[in-house]
Amino acid sequence: MKIAQVGEEVLKTPALSVQEELITDPEFQTFLDNLLACMLDANGIGIAAPQVFDPRAVMIIASRANPRYPDAPDMQPEILINPKVTAHSDNTCWEWEGCLSVPGLRGNIERADWVEVDYLSRDGNPKFVRYEGFLARIFLHEYDHLIGKTWLDHITDSNHIMANDVWMAKFVMQPQA
Ligand code: ZN
């Protein structure tokens, strides 16, 4: 799958809900597998369907330590279909983010500390989850893609943008193998 880069219309277009009865469709299940494989190939820790030119409201959250995010906590990848934010903290925190669709850059972005979400799992079951800290950040980053935004839309100060290599030199202590 090709990853859409910033400037593509699909990244500015709100995603469409997946019809519940289509979730178990083999074509859709294959799409989910391909989206997961695409994310893993790119060393991503999350991805949203619009990033592969698909307009449907699907995201994957898959935090794990990797060369792009050496300090990320490990988890099993979770597929969220038609996610809806039901509550979020008023408290926020700032952290540097990257995006597969915004190559070579990091942005310092303010996000809620925690978020509560209703969604459908890949077998079509309604689920509820509360994400905190870095996982809340990944969720909110991917959720932005489902409403036609990227982290660039949060930038109000150019000091909050850094080249990835500069960010790595500044913040990542261990040299990457
Ligand atoms: Zn992204």
Domain boundaries defined on the chain: 9-172
Do 112 and 136 form a contact (C-beta atoms < 8 A)?
Answer: yes
> What pLDDT, on a 0 to 100 scale, did the predictor assign at position 171?
80
Distance CA 78, CA 6 (A): 25
Retrieve residue 19's tokens.
């019809």
Distance CA 117, CA 78 (A): 13
Q: If you search the block for the tokens 């190559």, which residue do you land on? A: 103
**What kind of fold does domain 9-172 have according to CATH?**
Peptide Deformylase (3.90.45)
Residuewise pLDDT in 10s, the chain (177 residues): 999 999 999 999 999 999 999 999 999 999 999 999 999 999 889 999 999 999 999 999 999 887 766 777 899 999 999 999 999 999 999 999 999 999 999 999 999 999 999 999 999 999 999 999 999 999 999 999 999 999 999 999 999 999 999 998 888 765 544
CA of 99 to the centre of ligand 1 (A): 4
| Catalytic residue (choose from 8, 95, 132, 142) | 142
Retrieve residue 7's tokens.
């400037």
- The model's pTM is 0.93
> What pLDDT, on a 0 to 100 scale, did the predictor assign at position 72?
77
Distance CA 126, CA 66 (A): 30
Does the annotation count 142 as an active-site position?
yes
Distance CA 134, CA 141 (A): 10
CA of 23 to the centre of ligand 1 (A): 23
What are the b/e assignments for 101-123, b being 16+ CB within 10 Å? bbeebbbbbebbebbebebbebe
